[in-house]
A and B are shown apart, each in its own frame.
Chain A
């Protein structure tokens, strides 16, 4: 679905793309981001671009700072140095009004859904509509139900409270809430962690379908190799305090980076590869 390749030919190409707003343009641009906790440096001079319409996967070791990076992008933890530019707005320098305009154009799914536990699932999904629009309650409910059904929740769950839902359902409800205002960018923090393989695969398909239908830009932090193979257009590898490599998996596999090789060529990586591309050399792992 990405109409244009997101790799840059050269520096002029990069600047041109940052200036446009069509498909293939840069929606999120991180430049020289540094994050430090006391004397522990998590990110050092980190650059990353997320292009319109793509699904970017962010991978890295546990503790490599994936969640910190996501929180920096979202402004929950402003970076110690560097700039975060989202949809053309420099988040570190922009006024509160501009930042709020950007915040309404993104949706965030936190790891455990972060649903408001005092509201029912339906009220959770309708919450952004209640706060940011002037629609009637009846129409808000209709829109919330549409989003919940898009996220794959059965109608029987709408009236229930987050405490009464399973983990997978909470994730779906969180996704419905993130989609409530039809965001341009969707941030997903470990969307398939803790889901059974069938639900995880369904979630992958869902993310892809939403991207195709609603023209979303998706940035997801994940550990799930199946998800990487199934949905991501590009994968950004967070290692050694910066983005060590960005590209589709095929091009990452060609790189001679020890961590990337280990990550994708470990037993789980090869199994996911075999599943994603039957007929390739990964088939040797199949039972005969």
Chain B
């Protein structure tokens, strides 16, 4: 081995003992050491390749060869004598060039590939179907483009077809969601009749996950929202001397809407996404298929505990959110209006109506069911694709928030009609 050459290379490794400096030649070759130049000999065009023809260096001849082949020479010689190393990519490129030239009716010979390259050239034939796909090869002339008008119409039709397919897929997904809801009602109803079939361990686990663990964030957010509502109310109402009505404003906004909405949206972000990810990963891993094959219903094992946990926990979370939001409001009023806690409580007690609290809390089980069902439903749609779980998680959060706000609007309409 030429030790000087080894040491000159950037990749040299000198072991401490002095033995074993055998760095592999493939690692020592500088990159992009491939070249091609064209020589014109009368009617013959000779393309002289030199250096290493591997995938890493092949971009040089790939650019140079089509340029050289533009000349009108009918006889082409590919000269490989200067090639020191070749891999299947290089062999494939040569075969493609040969193939293209033969298709174009030009004669083409390889000059002395030698035994070592002949073998490679034999195992790297151009794929048969490429020509049928209308793709061009290095030696071939590019075919005429389709007329622009026809091309435009084709694109338009393709776009419409895609839009149509996307719309149908959406509709089918909504239909499937309704079907899933129906299946849940059947099985969940059966569970009410036979509570012994309920998986209580799982239920308690999910109550902790989506209830207890959400307490800090829900408390903090609603505390801040309560402050904002009370402060803004006090400021605006103060303009015509009605700053004491800030308590009325706070009571109605927080108890009827704000606490419920904020808590539900946090739950949609936290819980719907985690349900989709959990069930999605299980589906992708064929765990739900394994359950089904054992005669166990994933609906009973996975969905019912999650949805029940959510239905039980969300009202409690909202009740807690009511308290923290009112505390936040009291805090803001203390600083902006100098209204101490005693005065706040007295005022609140005078104006508060129980129905506002009830209206707020009545909505929560419905929101909870919507969030949990959407989360679980999208989990079951996962495929073995790594992207699918991520994509479905996004969809499930967006859809859960959408359903929360839609249901809230419907409830508002309903209570207005009932004059509550």
On A, residues with C-beta under 8 Å from B are 15, 18-21, 25-27, 29, 85, 87-90, 93-94, 97-98, 101-102, 104-105, 116-118, 129, 132-136, 138-139, 142-143, 145-147, 149-150, 155, 161-163, 179-182, 184, 213-214
Give the docked Cα–Cα distance between A283 and B26 (Å). 46
Contact in complex: A142, B20 (CB < 8 Å):
no
The answer to the question of B384 belonging to the interface, with a C-beta cut-off of 8 Å to chain A, is yes
How many residues of chain B are within 8 Å of chain A by beta carbon?
42
The answer to the question of B1 belonging to the interface, with a C-beta cut-off of 8 Å to chain A, is yes
Give the docked Cα–Cα distance between A20 and B21 (Å). 8
The answer to the question of B56 belonging to the interface, with a C-beta cut-off of 8 Å to chain A, is yes
Contact in complex: A19, B55 (CB < 8 Å):
no
Considering the complex, give the chain B residue whose CB is closest to the CB of A94.
Answer: B13
The answer to the question of B87 belonging to the interface, with a C-beta cut-off of 8 Å to chain A, is yes
Give the docked Cα–Cα distance between A214 and B119 (Å). 9
Give the docked Cα–Cα distance between A143 and B124 (Å). 9
Give the docked Cα–Cα distance between A105 and B29 (Å). 12
Contact in complex: A118, B22 (CB < 8 Å):
no
- The 6 A-B residue pairs with the shortest CB-CB distance, nearest first, are A87-B24, A88-B23, A182-B87, A163-B384, A134-B59, A18-B20
Give the docked Cα–Cα distance between A132 and B55 (Å). 9
Contact in complex: B19, A19 (CB < 8 Å):
yes
Contacts A29-B20, A116-B386, A143-B92 aside, 11 further interface pairs with beta carbons under 8 A come to A19-B21, A26-B22, A88-B22, A88-B27, A102-B27, A105-B26, A133-B55, A145-B130, A146-B92, A147-B88, A213-B119
- Contact flags (1/0) for B62-96 with A, using CB distance below 8 Å? 10000000000000000000000001110011001
The residue from A15, A117, A118, A147 contacting B20, defined by CB atoms under 8 A apart: A15
Query: Quick one: given A88-B24, A117-B384, A117-B386, are A15 and B11 in contact (CB under 8 Å)?
Result: no
Residues of B within 8 A of A102 (CB): 27
Q: Which of B3-57 contact A (CB under 8 A)?
A: 10-11, 13, 15, 19-27, 54-56
Give the docked Cα–Cα distance between A27 and B123 (Å). 25
23 A-B pairs within 8 Å (CB atoms) are namely: A15-B19, A19-B19, A21-B22, A25-B22, A87-B24, A98-B13, A102-B27, A104-B56, A105-B24, A105-B26, A105-B27, A118-B385, A132-B55, A134-B59, A139-B58, A139-B96, A143-B89, A145-B127, A146-B124, A162-B384, A163-B383, A180-B55, A182-B55
On B, residues with C-beta under 8 Å from A are 1, 10-11, 13, 15, 19-27, 54-56, 58-59, 62, 87-89, 92-93, 96, 119-120, 123-127, 129-130, 135-136, 383-387
Query: Quick one: given A21-B24, A88-B22, are A142 and B92 in contact (CB under 8 Å)?
Result: yes
Contact in complex: B96, A142 (CB < 8 Å):
yes
Query: Quick one: given A21-B25, A105-B27, A181-B55, are A163 and B385 in contact (CB under 8 Å)?
Result: yes
A104 to chain B, nearest CB (A): 8
Residues of A within 8 A of B92 (CB): 142-143, 146
Residues of B within 8 A of A29 (CB): 20
Residues of A within 8 A of B120 (CB): 213
B381 to chain A, nearest CB (A): 13
Residues of B within 8 A of A155 (CB): 127, 129
Give the docked Cα–Cα distance between A85 and B20 (Å). 10
A17 to chain B, nearest CB (A): 9
Contact in complex: A88, B55 (CB < 8 Å):
no
Contact in complex: B55, A135 (CB < 8 Å):
yes
Give the docked Cα–Cα distance between A104 and B24 (Å). 13
Contact in complex: A90, B15 (CB < 8 Å):
yes
Residues of A within 8 A of B129 (CB): 155
Residues of A within 8 A of B386 (CB): 116-118
Give the docked Cα–Cα distance between A117 and B124 (Å). 27
Considering the complex, give the chain B residue whose CB is closest to the CB of A213.
Answer: B123
Contact in complex: B24, A184 (CB < 8 Å):
yes
Residues of B within 8 A of A145 (CB): 127, 130
Contact in complex: B62, A136 (CB < 8 Å):
yes
Contact in complex: B13, A143 (CB < 8 Å):
no
A140 to chain B, nearest CB (A): 9
Query: Quick one: given A90-B13, A133-B59, A143-B89, are A21 and B130 in contact (CB under 8 Å)?
Result: no
Contact in complex: B88, A182 (CB < 8 Å):
yes
Query: Quick one: given A101-B27, A155-B127, are A88 and B21 in contact (CB under 8 Å)?
Result: yes
Which residue, of B89, B126, B127, has the highest number of chain A Cβ atoms within 10 A?
B89
